[in-house]
Amino acid sequence: MVHPDLLEILRCPICVREHENGGALELYKETWLLCTECDRKYPIVEDIPVMLVDEGEKWINTPAAGLPVPPPPFD
């Protein structure tokens, strides 16, 4: 599980660059972080958020309900 203090400071790497307070993330099913602005989705693999832009964009067109739980292993 990701520590709650870490969840408070994590932001979408794309949106935080565009907006000073942007990039808020919501925890989804304890295994995904969903950006509330751009709809990128970042997996949490072995309790580590994978906050890479490429990884977030890979899932951008997948609805939250269609995300695999648990996420696939990170390559």
**16 versus 67: which is more confidently predicted?**
67
Q: What is the pLDDT of residues 2-54, one digit of tens each?
A: 888 988 899 999 998 877 778 999 999 999 999 999 999 999 999 999 999 99
Residue 75 clears pLDDT 70, i.e. is over it: no
Question: What is the second-level CATH architecture of the domain 4-62?
Answer: Single Sheet (2.20)
Q: Where are the domains of the chain?
A: 4-62
The span from the CA of 60 to the CA of 38, in Å, is: 8
Q: How far apart are CA 50 and CA 74, in angstroms?
A: 8
